[in-house]
Amino acid sequence: MSRSHPHTVSRRRVFYIPGYDPIHPRRYRELYRKEGAAQAAISGYEIALKPGPSGGHYGWQVDARMDDAQVHADVDVLVWSDIVRDSMATSIPATYAQLVRTAWTYITTGALRRLMRLRKGPVIAALYPVGMLLVQLLIAALVWWGAWRIGAGVLGIFGAWIGAAIGAVAFVALLRWFKAKDGKFFAYYLMHDYAYSAASNGANPAPLEARMAEFQRSIAAALHEDVDEVLVVGHSSGAHLAVSILADLIRAQNMPKGGPALSFLSLGQVVPMVSFLPDAHRLRADLRFLSDREELTWVDVTAPGDGCAFALCDPVSVSGVAPDTKRWPLVFSAQFTKSLSPERWAELRWRFFRLHFQYLCAFDRPLDYDYFQITAGPVTLADRYADRPPSKSRIDVPVSKYTSIAA
């Protein structure tokens, strides 16, 4: 890793790119505040938050004291939740149509079969909304059928018509109830998530491309500020957005000589869900480009305990686009089962969606991964993991059927 930048960081800009999430970004501020305080108490350092400046992106400021060093970090959330909400604003019939189209896309392209060679967890997570939505449809259909049968059994043909009408009302009402309770089931949410990329076979929709260009300009501007490190964090679906944003930034050659260290931390990535699709030419090209650049440091952290991520799957290699000169990413595990106490692991083990956010949270038996030291500590990402070997159990062989990088 390059050591041309100062080892000590006193000022840092952090850009956090969320995954496919319709929630207001204040959620991430409160998560950082709560979990940062918990990690500080466990690890013996100081960390405090205050509001960010008005205007621009939603964010907050962090003042920390770690390893006898005072560090200030400005954290910005690069918001695309409005695009997510727009993509989720569909009717119940439209969602079931999405289900059919998305399943058809992943099955007929062979992407689903190849994804299963990587990790079963995220594939099961992808199949879950399909199964849950079909179960909901079946339950509603059984209610309709039951009403029709009861009506026919009591009043004959006339009763069958009445029963069918009552059953139809119940059918619609039950499906609406399931949708209203999706905060517990997550079926509609996950269906919209997978359908968003599948709808264009892996290509980015135009509104998202426009937003990504805005994000790139913001990060480029930060590289001209008086800071020691510009850190981009991409979580879940945000990881593959960050890949393309950073690739565009480096291609634009808008990085000052001797400027801040540029670092990229991808967390809980699901890159193969997109890069394995036939028209993901741009993403595959960006993965290949970014993987051998000396302008940045790229560290990819996942964990087998996270059933929603492609744990320890090198996103460049499994996508089949790794060049001979590949140097990134450094792939290693957050080791949930070791960095969380047995009691804490038992509490979280079956909370799959919560575990997908554990990378942003406190560990009560921390090892060498600490989100708050990375974002608010006195060491650059490059120096922090300069001697860190990749995980031996990582998957770094080509798996994708589609490897083209030009449309």
Region label for 271, one of left (φ > 0), alpha (ψ between -120 and 50) or beta (otherwise)? alpha
Spatial separation of the C-alpha atoms in residues 348 and 354, rounded to whole Å: 7
Written as one letter, the residue type at 63 is D
Residue 259, pLDDT > 60, answer yes
Residue 163, pLDDT > 90, answer no
Residue 2, pLDDT > 70, answer no
State the pLDDT at residue 103: 93
Mean pLDDT of 197-204: 91
Q: Is the model more confident about 147 or about 160?
A: 147
Strands (E) in 58-187, as ranges, are: 58-66, 69-77
Spatial separation of the C-alpha atoms in residues 230 and 214, rounded to whole Å: 16
* CB atoms inside a 10 Å sphere around CB 199: 15
Q: What's the mean pLDDT when you consider all of the chain?
A: 92
DSSP per residue over 280-309, as a string? -HHHHHHHHHHTT-SSEEEEEEE-TT-TTS
Determine phi and psi for 60, rounding to 5 degrees: -155, 165
Of 118-122, 150-154, 290-294, the least confident: 150-154
State the pLDDT at residue 8: 85
Mean pLDDT of 195-220: 94
Structure confidence at residue 183 as a pLDDT band (50, 70, 90): confident
Query: Token pair of 327, please?
Result: 């140097």
Instruction: Tell me 204's DSSP state.
Output: P
Spatial separation of the C-alpha atoms in residues 72 and 228, rounded to whole Å: 10
Alpha helices by DSSP H, listed for 223-358, are 237-251, 272-275, 281-290, 315-318, 336-339, 342-348, 352-355
Tens digits of residue pLDDT in 98-140 = 999 999 999 999 999 999 999 888 888 888 999 999 999 999 9
Tens digits of residue pLDDT in 34-76 = 999 999 999 999 999 998 887 777 999 999 999 899 999 999 9
Mean pLDDT of 377-394: 95
State the pLDDT at residue 276: 97
Domains of the chain plus CATH, in order, are 11-83+206-384 (3.40.50), 89-193 (no CATH)
Mean pLDDT of 320-347: 96
Query: What percent of the chain is predicted at pLDDT more than 70?
Result: 98
Query: What percent of the chain is predicted at pLDDT more than 90?
Result: 81
Region label for 335, one of left (φ > 0), alpha (ψ between -120 and 50) or beta (otherwise)? left
Structure confidence at residue 253 as a pLDDT band (50, 70, 90): confident
User: In the block, which residue shows the tokens 């770094």?
Assistant: 396
State the pLDDT at residue 216: 96
**Residue 16: strand pairing partners:** 77, 233
Q: Is the model more confident about 163 or about 210?
A: 210
Beta-carbon contacts of residue 35 (< 8 Å; ≥ 6 apart): 360, 361, 362, 371, 372
3-state DSSP call for residue 51?
Answer: strand
Tens digits of residue pLDDT in 298-310 = 999 999 999 999 9
Spatial separation of the C-alpha atoms in residues 215 and 241, rounded to whole Å: 10
Contact 204, 212 (CB under 8 A): yes
Q: Structure pTM?
A: 0.92
3-state DSSP call for residue 233?
Answer: strand
18 to 5, 144, 241, 244, 348: CA distances (angstroms): 27, 41, 9, 14, 21
Q: What kind and span of H or E run contains 125?
A: helix 120-180
State the pLDDT at residue 7: 61
State the pLDDT at residue 1: 41
State the pLDDT at residue 104: 94
Residue 377, pLDDT > 80, answer yes
Residue 284, pLDDT > 70, answer yes
